[in-house]
Amino acid sequence: MRRGAFATRIGAIATAVGSAVGLGNIWRFPYEAGTNGGGAFLMIYLFFIAIVGIPLLCAEFAMGRDSRANAVKTFASLTGRKSMGAVGVMGIVASVLILSFYSVVAGWTIEYTIISFSRGFKSTDVETLHSLFNSSIASPAKSLFFTWLFLLINYFALARGVRKGIESLSNLLMPVLFLILIVFCVNSLMLPDAGRGLRFLFAVDFSQVSVTTVLSAMGQAFFSLSIGLGCMLTYGSYFKDSTIIPRTAVSIASLDTLVAILSGIIIFPAVFSFGMSPTAGPTLVFETLPAIFGAMAGGRILAPLFFILLFIASLTSTISMSEISISFCTEQFGWSRKKASAAVIGLSMALGGLCALSFGPLANFKICSLTVFNLFDFASSNVLLPLGGVCASLIAGWAYPRSRLAAQLSLTGNKLFSVIRFLLRYIIPLCILLIFINSL
């Protein structure tokens, strides 16, 4: 079977950015920073992006482009052991768990798009916004409907081959999202309690840091960069030979981090100015943004535009996570794209349904004191992705021939290569394992 390839360098970067930038930056980053003490979380997060994220992104791209195959086959062939394909299988499991809870939040963006078109957001009152959110999210019928609608849209994009169209649309629209975020930032910075919000986000107070903070910051770095589950490896397998991997990885990580920080600058000044709590959790952004739109000039027009763009950003991320399983099923079992897409989306609809109900009828159904939604989020981001990261790092550092890795990274004979390889061989695996052991 002929494998696809990205036509241009910009196309390759834009598609990988499309995977990285999504709800992880705009929804998950602020809520994780909010529940984990703000500034200290941000510092640790930046540390992980630089020391763990960028080298692993390079390694995934390099291994994918070298083997030009799905993650399971790549790990098996690079190590010469079939059993190592299990690392790829773990990534597939993680991607389905993420797809399931991510689709619930993406469903909220669809519902908020509709609300912002129809009646708009007028109130900045905490209680009113809280009940607006609850009336949509806690309603099982609505929540299921929007989660499944989002997954069905994914199915059509994946099976009908309009994926490419959505990706080019996203390439076109992401600069617009970026501009809107800047407008919102300026607006948030003019709110009465903006200073408190900024202090919360940027002032580092390490006395607040616990192992959970470190684990969460690490999980967020993996989640946001889409690494540790073979997603970027799969995208790397479609890269052209002329793509310069380290430069691409740094561009992606920088853009991704910038969007997360902008999102923090939008949310926290508003949280303090409108008297909300930064520790609200997954609902934080969906209660804060409407207050921002309600209070700002032009909010009536910008709100629907923003939610549409957020929806498209989510779609390019979910397309990338589905691609891991689809490329596996088509290449390994010889399934058609349609059949593979139906299997992946069907399974996610079942699991996503449970996640959607976690905010309503299943709110009290807990495993290890977590709702299904929170469990899927925690198990994938804080356990499976870092674990996949350890394996990918060890394979790239120890099993993958040094000269081939150097050649893929276009760093043959360069000192920087020794640094990256040292990080992959020792520092990244040790760092992740230590955090795991501590948090146990």
Q: x/- contact string, 17-46, with ligand PFF (CB under 6 A)?
A: --xx-xxxx---------------------
Question: Is the Cα dihedral 289, 169, 65, 103 positive or negative?
Answer: positive
Span of 173-181, 210-218, 222-230, 269-277 interacting with ligand PFF by CB under 6 A: 222-230
* Lookup result for tokens 């027009």: 301
Q: How far is the CB of 156 from ligand PFF (least distance, A)?
A: 19
Nearer to ligand PFF, 34 or 299 (CB): 34
* Smaller CB separation from ligand PFF, 17 or 132: 17
- What is the full DSSP assignment across 406-435? HHHTT-TT-HHHHHHHHIIIIIHHHHHHHH
Report how far apart, in Å, the C-alpha atoms of 50 and of each of 53, 55, 250, 417 are.
Answer: 6, 8, 9, 15
- CA end-to-end span of the chain: 45
Question: Could you tell me the two tokens for 369?
Answer: 């004191």
For ligand PFF, the closer of residues 41 and 272 by Cβ is 41
Among 78, 96, 166, 231, binds ligand PFF (CB under 6 A): 231
Distance CA 199, CA 197 (A): 5
- Report in angstroms how near the CB of residue 300 gets to ligand PFF at its nearest: 27
d(CA 280, CA 274): 14
* Residues whose CB falls within 8 Å of the CB of residue 126, separated by 6 or more in sequence, listed in order: 274, 275, 276, 287, 291
Query: For 197, which DSSP code?
Result: H
Residue of 15, 103, 187, 226 interacting with ligand PFF (CB under 6 A): 226
Mask for 90-119, x = binds ligand PFF (CB under 6 A): -----x--x---------------------
Q: Which of 321, 326, 345, 356 binds ligand PFF (CB under 6 A)?
A: 321
Among 15, 154, 263, 320, binds ligand PFF (CB under 6 A): 320
Say whether residue 170 binds ligand PFF (CB under 6 A). Answer: no
SS3 for 401? coil
User: What is the length of the chain?
Assistant: 440
**Cβ neighbours of residue 243 closer than 8 Å, sequence gap 6 or more:** 6, 9, 12, 61, 65
Give least dist CB 27 to ligand PFF, A: 8
Residue 127 C-beta: closest distance to ligand PFF, Å: 30
| Residues at the contact surface with ligand PFF, assessed by CB under 6 A | 19-20, 22-25, 95, 98, 223-224, 226, 229, 231, 317, 320-321
